[in-house]
A and B are shown apart, each in its own frame.
Chain A
């Protein structure tokens, strides 16, 4: 059960779009459309941003979108804002009611 692979860091200027990848295997990301994305600001609890690959919970900005291709899921943040600076984690269902998180990506707004 190795963690899903994410880039350690991604950066962008205000207003730009950035994409964070999350690579798993055919046993997790590739087998289920059950990838979630979480935002975590320093010292705070994670917050659900995307579930089931591309769905947004009520109250989450439509600047956040999710997709999947094969064993890789992606989170795109468009119109980057200073408040988007945080750590982001993907999480995939891995079968037998277990879950696997990604390694995490630090997003920096330049």
Chain B
């Protein structure tokens, strides 16, 4: 059974940093593109970033470029999102998703940016 489990969310002050993790199991993690998608409270889905199977290519939505960094460790079947210079508008549930079709999703982790 495919499982994606996010962790690392929480309350952080504006300008602060947070690192999200996503532990994958039940599929060959190293064979899949991986993505982060977020959803602000009561709002729609927004694609944030993705990373190629070997980590050689990374892409971001314009609003997070230069602040967020996506990475992966295929030996640990894990995906990460380093978030720096956080803003109130980054408040959202962050989901990790597997595959170029976003076939599998985790349950999400809530990030709240507030003073």
Contacts and interface: CB of A to CB of B under 8 A. Distances in A.
Most buried by A among B44, B50, B103, B106: B44
Contacts, number: 55
For this complex, into which size category does the number of interface residues on chain A fall? 20 to 34
A48 B103 contact: yes
Nearest to B45: A101
Given A1-B62, A97-B57, A89 B105 contact: no
Interface in A68-100: 89, 91, 96-100
B47 interface: yes
Nearest to A57: B103
Contact of B45 (A48, A91, A96, A97): A91
Interface of B: 35, 37, 44-47, 50, 57, 59, 61-62, 95, 101-108
Interface of A: 1, 3, 36, 38, 40, 44-48, 51-52, 57, 89, 91, 96-104
